[in-house]
A and B are shown apart, each in its own frame.
Chain A
């Protein structure tokens, strides 16, 4: 029995040099056990658990994972190359597609980068609305993962509940942006257009619903003994490892660190409202999931604050016919739902960027996957994959 425990707890240190648990993988093998032959199992790219086309090649000893190798790039579309051939307005329509669950946040980063370079004065109202939308989008995203995580662990109901809420919120955002998934509502220097009549009231109502319903997820999963048994202590990611992999977002916060660029380096209006950053203690799957749930409520709080303080006025600035960022380089990071999304924009003063490097959260988070998987059980792999929340497009860009 204890052996089963160690299977799920001890961690190999394949990639991390000089970390705390170096060489654990070797120690697990106890002499007593029969000689076994590892089975090479290819999970994905079309596998229910790797929602998307992530592929993980694992070496199995029984059900214990000896080695795990994530293989990515199936959805690589060369965004950075495409961006170099397009002007900033067109990039807006491209950039929101890599992480298709947080389109608005994606656009926001680029918009802010260009605005800072051009030293544009973005209208107050636009900046508040950006915060509002960003938070709605965050909730959309988190709901998705709350559902899918349950689904992967075999609890099939939460995902349907999640989509119930998502539909409502999507309809709300669609009424403002016209899109259900790819909102493309940001523009350099503001927003596409102002909100439709009644949006703010609807938002206020919606936060109430979401809060009420997020309780259902808690009832379904939070206290559920089976769920706890499946996730507690599974895929625990120590902070130092997380840091050296550049892991961010709920995965980092679950490890106990309130690192969130909305707080540490507030952009737009986050500095003027109080942003609660929920954290966990163990950094295991359970904490990651709970942090995600808490973030939904936190976002609701933010939205309420925005609704109280949104001013009237224009949402656009008058721009030259062709937007051109001055020569130079800038790095802008925004707190996307899945973690920190960074945009390193190098401009040579033309209407399209000379280089636009996008640092996506999922890429770094999945890079830590071998560390998390080695020594886990096959079933744990599902719990880990599901709780290191990622979008394949966000990995591959």
Chain B
């Protein structure tokens, strides 16, 4: 994306650069989930004493590298079935509705010095607001499928997302309080400046350990990843809102899930792990190289976070919906409020 900078300088045409940026965003949006997905395939496999996909490959490189591509091709070929009882239009558009917000969030996420499409002053606000639109898609799918399992899945998802939007926002709010800005880039820079007790350079994850944990848990719940995957609990309600979906539309849901993993991990990186800086206070070289390195660092952190998601999935059973709710309302939200208070106090005191 460093290209963006030069191109924009060269042509100095707002529209052209915007188009280019968005184009690159879309490319990233289509490739990053593949990487995460492949990682999940293999990590899950090896954690379960398996090998994961080994055959599909790109050229000589085997080890299932091409598995997801092959899956994509398969999905495209599959018949697109719409149940006769379904509400056709809602059913048809639901995947798009759950997909687009994720794409939009990417627009504001900074991946490296200068590597972002748009920089908003209210970046975090925008990101969180938009990302919570996705639930609409799930609800649409659930309702329009005319399937009891879908309906239950949708209702679970809705309840879950509402319950976990709060801890997510509150955890982020604490960081915003700390950084004193809503801009994601601003938060990264502030984090770079941050010194614990005025001396120790650490990312916000350390002082905000509680907030970080909450943000992560909430993110899992928001993505309905295990152990919070009741909305699509396959052994209870077949596949939740996706039960009736096939082919490309189903693929879109999957894509939005994995893209969601990337996006929320990216946000967590920005908010708590110091964004593109390897470590607060460690400067990156100027210009293109710095951008590339920064991008690499960010991706590294994102992958690490998604790896943990996979790890949890491999290990933990699924909670029950009511337990999930109780955990949110009785544990996380009070804790989050307390966290804000503490941060505020600390901010004022120090």
A224 to B319, CA, bound (A): 11
CB atoms of B320 and A230 under 8 A apart: yes
Least distance between B35 CB and chain A CB atoms (Å): 22
Least distance between B233 CB and chain A CB atoms (Å): 7
Interface of A, secondary structure class, is helix
Stretch from A96-104, A300-308, A372-380 that touches the partner: A372-380
A154 to B226, CA, bound (A): 8
Q: Mark B14-32, 1 if CB is under 8 A from A, else 0.
A: 0000000000000000000
A382 close to B (CB within 8 Å):
yes
B322 close to A (CB within 8 Å):
yes
Interface residues of A in 61-76 (CB under 8 A from B): 63
B238 close to A (CB within 8 Å):
yes
B317 close to A (CB within 8 Å):
yes
Q: Mark A183-211, 1 if CB is under 8 A from B, else 0.
A: 00000000000000000000000000000
Least distance between A140 CB and chain B CB atoms (Å): 18
* A151 / chain B contacts, CB cutoff of 8 Å: 235
A152 close to B (CB within 8 Å):
yes
Partner of B321, one of A1, A49, A63, A381: A63
A379 to B321, CA, bound (A): 8
Interface residues of B in 155-199 (CB under 8 A from A): none
Least distance between B326 CB and chain A CB atoms (Å): 6
Partner of B317, one of A47, A49, A227: A227
A41 to B326, CA, bound (A): 26
A350 close to B (CB within 8 Å):
no
Please name 19 further chain A to chain B contacts, defined as beta carbons within 8 Å, in addition to the given A41-B148, A161-B49, sorted by A numbering: A7-B322, A47-B238, A63-B322, A151-B235, A153-B235, A154-B229, A154-B316, A154-B318, A155-B315, A156-B44, A156-B48, A161-B48, A164-B49, A226-B319, A229-B323, A230-B318, A230-B323, A380-B320, A382-B236
Partner of A230, one of B47, B50, B237, B319: B319
* A39 / chain B contacts, CB cutoff of 8 Å: 148
Interface of B, secondary structure class, is loop
A4 close to B (CB within 8 Å):
yes
CB atoms of A224 and B316 under 8 A apart: yes
A47 to B235, CA, bound (A): 8
Q: Mark A160-185, 1 if CB is under 8 A from B, else 0.
A: 11001000000000000000000000
Total interface residues in chain A, CB < 8 Å: 33
A1 to B329, CA, bound (A): 11
CB atoms of A378 and B48 under 8 A apart: no
* A7 / chain B contacts, CB cutoff of 8 Å: 322
CB atoms of B236 and A160 under 8 A apart: no
B335 close to A (CB within 8 Å):
no
A193 to B98, CA, bound (A): 63
B121 close to A (CB within 8 Å):
no
CB atoms of A378 and B317 under 8 A apart: no
A296 to B237, CA, bound (A): 31
Least distance between A330 CB and chain B CB atoms (Å): 42
Q: Mark B206-250, 1 if CB is under 8 A from A, else 0.
A: 000000000000000000001101100111111000000000000
A156 to B315, CA, bound (A): 7
Partner of B322, one of A150, A152, A377: A377
CB atoms of B48 and A226 under 8 A apart: no
Least distance between B157 CB and chain A CB atoms (Å): 14
CB atoms of A229 and B234 under 8 A apart: no
CB atoms of A1 and B234 under 8 A apart: no
A1 to B327, CA, bound (A): 11
| Nearest 10 Cβ contacts at the A-B interface | A154-B318, A160-B48, A153-B317, A155-B317, A152-B235, A4-B322, A379-B320, A154-B317, A49-B235, A48-B235
A220 close to B (CB within 8 Å):
yes
Interface residues of B in 140-163 (CB under 8 A from A): 148, 152
In the complex, what residue of chain A is closest to B44 when comparing beta carbons?
A156
Partner of A221, one of B317, B326, B330: B317
B41 close to A (CB within 8 Å):
no
A4 to B330, CA, bound (A): 14
* B320 / chain A contacts, CB cutoff of 8 Å: 229-230, 377, 379-380
A147 to B323, CA, bound (A): 23
B313 close to A (CB within 8 Å):
yes
What are 20 A-B pairs with beta-carbon distances under 8 A? Answer: A4-B322, A41-B148, A47-B238, A48-B234, A49-B236, A155-B316, A157-B47, A157-B48, A160-B48, A160-B49, A161-B49, A221-B317, A224-B316, A224-B317, A226-B227, A229-B319, A230-B317, A230-B323, A377-B322, A379-B318
Partner of A379, one of B48, B236, B238: B236
A128 to B316, CA, bound (A): 41
* B321 / chain A contacts, CB cutoff of 8 Å: 63, 377, 379
* A49 / chain B contacts, CB cutoff of 8 Å: 235-236
Least distance between B182 CB and chain A CB atoms (Å): 35
B314 close to A (CB within 8 Å):
yes
Known contacts A39-B148, A49-B235, A378-B236; is-contact A226 B49 (Cβ 8 Å): no
* A380 / chain B contacts, CB cutoff of 8 Å: 320
CB atoms of B315 and A220 under 8 A apart: yes
